[in-house]
Structure 1
Amino acid sequence: MLVLHETETAEALKWADLIDAIERMFRSHCVMPVRHHHEVAVPGEADATLLLMPAWVPGDYIGVKLVSVFPDNHARGLPAIHGSYILSSGKTGKMLAVVDGGELTARRTAATSALAARYLARDDASHLLVVGTGRLSLNLMQAHAAVRPITRVSVWGRNPANAEKSAEEARALGFDAVACTDLEGTARTADIISCATLSSVPLIHGAWLKPGAHLDLIGAFKPSMRESDDEAVRRATIVVDTRDGALGEAGDILQPLKAGVISEADIKADLFDLVAGRHKGRSDGGEITLFKSVGAALEDLAGAILAYETVMEPFARQET
């Protein structure tokens, strides 16, 4: 059985290949049951959470991501979140690989945003604003640069020092990147705004979005969280990764729905619609577009299959 740790997983998931793999999976007959969510008692501490996210393509591959969240791990100096992905044969059930769950999740999340941008961002989009300085910030830069001619990157974070650190790391990768402190002013000039935060209050205001802007919302994954205000969803053409996910978890969608600012009919498409051609994506250069993702198990499966086949391909050649 193949075991891929963090570095090996990253090396096996090149951005262009991963974006294409996720696109193919959205076109496939992938089966995605509802994710399993279990509370786990930890005596004397806060309850932990166990998440199981299965998906399969009949006769091809079966995969499941297992994620544990132990909130009190900070007291032990350990990460709160641990995860692994188990990939098996869809023909025999034989276990094929265990893939690092954290790296897989981070890369497929950014790649999914880039897939949406391929359909929704202007062809000439060159200025990317990344809001948030966590693990995803560099991934988002690299993923978006794989689908659009990104020549300028701005990074904003609540902690300016962290924003500068992210910008420095981006420059080391070859990006023309700077940290910014004026979020409104930078947002007003950006072609693509990609938010990956844990914010519970809007950070990006719809009034700031210039004609032709694309807003990519990743971080807020609970109904109580949001990264955009009501005006942003009111002005934009709304696309989500999956309708079930967005209507179950996405505060950026659920809160304005509850307030009557938008209706479910205002969600114009999901990624299934885009890749199948049922929605053409951006209609003109002045349209404001908004993509909201909360993650889907098929994205993990696509990445795990790609990682496994990439690593195993040289061995397959030797056998032939």
Structure 2
Amino acid sequence: MPLLIIRDHEIRELLPMKACIGIMDQAMRALSAGTVDVPERIIAPLADGRSYFILMPGLMPLSEGDGHPGPYGAKLVGLHPDNPAGGRPAVQGFVSLFDGRTGEPVALLGGASITAIRTAAASALATRELARPDARSHGIFGAGVLAATHLEAIACVRDIEQVVLWARDPAKARQFAERYRDPDGPEIRVTTDQATAAACDVVSLVTNSPTPVLRGDWLREGAHLNLVGAHEPEHREADSEAVAKSRIYVDSRSAALAEAGDLLIPMQEGRIGPDAIVGEIGELLLERVP
């Protein structure tokens, strides 16, 4: 069987955001139902102390009727936070897919586009289920690739009229607004005040900051918060107050308790316990949790 190679620019054409949100709905349900196996990912820090090699495996169940394993694969990526300064995405890598019967490699897919689209689609799915129906404003912290896909994704599930953008580099924030401003889309407003970006109906944190960029006392009552960027137990984007005042849902309970610094640090401080997690998004979709 010839190996299929789908590159990043082709994935952007083949995987529309709305379609990916639907796929994530199915995936989250399957994960929480236990019909797929997603082992804990491996995160290996590189020698510079800022970059990481990340391996994320996933396995489908037995094929119906013949008892053979279903397809399986893994995403292998390098996370290099200094890349955007040189015009490259911070995430580089690919997704590998294997035939469950024979172990033959079936496909290699561009990892940067899949990561950017899938991550935002997962946030949009959570927003669809948890944000107020009348949410109209979206605060975005960050001005990279994930900020762009979250701009698109959240607008797929709520009638967003205004986006308020904050980034540590104001020039980059202005460039982002100029690039993605659309006469038919929401107004994009750039701010240098984090509290202003936080005072929105939906807030998405998509930075690579290891320390909080958002304080809980900036959030308005009833806001929905997507925490995306932190992936190490000692890193977090929101302070403990923001987490302690929230109803918490996660994509994977086991993964969150192993590596989500946004949750682990408030737990270490005694602000919340493991039972603060109301449930997984998939459990919410399956109506197993309120």
When the two structures are superposed, what TM-score results if normalisation uses the length of structure 1?
0.78
Task: Output aligned runs, 1:208-219, within 5 Å.
Answer: 208-219=218-229
Q: Equivalent residue for 1:85?
A: 95
- Cα distance, 1:174 vs. partner? 3.4
Query: Is 1:35 the equivalent of 2:38?
Result: no
Q: Which blocks of at least 5 consecutive residues in structure 2 are unaligned?
A: 64-69
SS at match of 1:109: helix
**Runs of 5+ in structure 1 lacking a partner?**
281-320
Please state how far the C-alpha of 1:35 moved relative to its aligned partner: 2.5
Aligned match of 1:230: 240
Are 1:263 and 2:273 matched, yes or no?
yes
User: CA offset at residue 270 of structure 1?
Assistant: 1.3
Q: How many equivalent pairs are there?
A: 275
Give matches, 1:1-320, under 5 Å.
Answer: 1-28=3-30, 29-37=35-43, 50-58=53-61, 59=63, 60-68=70-78, 81-172=91-182, 174-188=185-199, 190-280=200-290
Provide closer, same or farther for how the CA distance between residues 11 and 70 of structure 1 changes in structure 2, counting only shifts above 3 A. Answer: closer
Higher mean C-alpha displacement, 136-145 vs 198-207: 198-207
Deviation of residue 155 (structure 1)?
0.8
Segment drifting more, 63-72 vs 130-139 = 63-72
How far is the alpha carbon of 1:79 from its aligned partner? 7.1
SS at match of 2:225: strand
C-alpha displacement of 1:40: 7.6
Answer whether contact 2:142 2:166 (CA < 8 A) is retained: yes
The answer to whether the 8 A contact 2:40-2:255 is kept is no
Higher RCO structure, 1 or 2 (CA under 8 Å, sep 6+): 1
RMSD: 2.6
Q: TM-score, normalised by structure 2?
A: 0.86
User: 1: CA distance between counterparts of 2:209 and 2:50?
Assistant: 22
**C-alpha distance 206-40 of structure 1, shift in aligned 2 (>3 A):** closer
Specify whether residues 264 and 7 from structure 1 end up closer, same or farther in structure 2 by C-alpha distance, changes over 3 A only: same
Q: Which letter maps to 2:77?
A: V
1:159 to 1:139, Cα distance in 2 relative to 1, 3 A:
same
- Pairwise CA distance, 1:18: 0.4
Structure 1 vs Structure 2: percent identity of aligned residues? 39
Judge conservation of contact 2:89–2:145 (CA < 8 Å) in 1.
Answer: no
